[in-house]
Amino acid sequence: MNNYDEEVVLLLQDKVRLIPSGRTSIYLVGPIKMPINLQGKVVDFTWYSWLKGEETMGNITCMIDRLSRANLAELQQSSVLVYGDIQHAEQSLIRFHSICHTGDIFGSKRCDCGYQLKQSMAQIVDHGHGALFYLANHEGRGIGLFSKAIAYILQENGYDTVDANLKLGFVDDARDYGDAIEVLKTFRTKPVTLITNNPRKLEALLKAGMSIRGRVPLWGDVSEYNEKYLKTKMERSGHLNSRGDHKGLFTLN
Ligand SMILES: [Zn+2]
């Protein structure tokens, strides 16, 4: 190793955490300053990204050494925006947001993802403390962007979101929250309030041993373009309505 490498390692050693996760490990890098234009105002978030190794990649030096050969641009990495002191705050708002290339980036009206992303960031800032996890391997409920395009063609021909995924050989919802929860636990062990309509996210947190203080529903931006999509979420995917009383699923306050 040359001197330059040692300098790099020194710069990074307080910014890269190794989180053991079963037989693998998660490298969490951050905090990184992230000023964000939110509804015309600049808000100071801090940003972290993480990478899960299929095998333990060893210490920081080994990890850096392998980065340039890892071809990470071909894969998706997740990240989290943190606002305020989420470690100590009595109540913290958490959002697990599944990536939506079409909704979040292009502003597609076929779904409500773009609205949910901006709205949950604004809610976290209004509240004063929280974190938005942006989950990069969740495109199309975990089927990937190309498959989502195929599923959209089925949807344009009468299939709903659930049936389109099933017809293509996928399960309705393949999303896993395990890594995000491991990362959340490094920030906070106190109870969290989740911004979600999705009971599976609440169940995943409870299963992982996190305690939940409450749930903030997130509905809005209903239009002629996404009405059927939202109805399917409620009727077939068990999403909770704003009162949280859909089909007898548990309600948290
Ligand atoms: Zn979407």
The separation between CA 153 and the C-alpha centre of its own chain, rounded to angstroms, equals 26
Q: Ligand 1: distance of its center to the CA of 155 in Å?
A: 14
Report the distance separating Cα 104 and Cα 156, nearest Å. Answer: 21
Confidence band (pLDDT; 50, 70, 90) for 247? Answer: very low
CA 148 – ligand 1 centroid, Å: 10
> According to the model, what pLDDT value does residue 54 have?
65
Decide if pLDDT at 238 tops 60: yes
Asked if pLDDT for residue 62 goes beyond 60, the answer is yes
pLDDT for residue 248 is more than 70: no
Active site residue 175: yes
The angle subtended at Cα 45 by Cα 51 and Cα 14, nearest 5°, is: 50
User: What local confidence, expressed as pLDDT, does residue 243 receive?
Assistant: 52
CA of 56 to the centre of ligand 1 (A): 33
Q: Which position among 95, 110, 141, 175 bears the catalytic label?
A: 175
First vs last C-alpha separation in the chain: 54
- Taking all residues of the chain, what is their mean pLDDT, rounded to a whole number? 87
Higher pLDDT, 217 or 48: 48
Query: By percentage, how much of the chain surpasses pLDDT 90?
Result: 57
The overall pTM is greater than 0.75: yes
Query: How far, rounded to the nearest angstrom, does the alpha carbon of residue 116 sit from its chain's CA centroid?
Result: 12
Active site residue 173: yes
Report, as an integer, the average pLDDT of 58-81: 86
Distance 15 CA to ligand 1 centre (A): 32
Catalytic, out of 95, 173, 179, 215: 173
231 CA distance to ligand 1 middle (Å): 14
Distance (angstroms) between ligand 1 centre and the Cα of 102 equals: 6
pLDDT for 250 equals 32
Q: Which of 3-12, 37-46, 138-147 has the lowest mean pLDDT?
A: 3-12
Query: What's the CA-to-centroid distance between 236 and ligand 1, angstroms?
Result: 17
Answer whether residue 252 shows pLDDT above 90. no
Q: How far is CA 96 from the centre of its chain?
A: 4
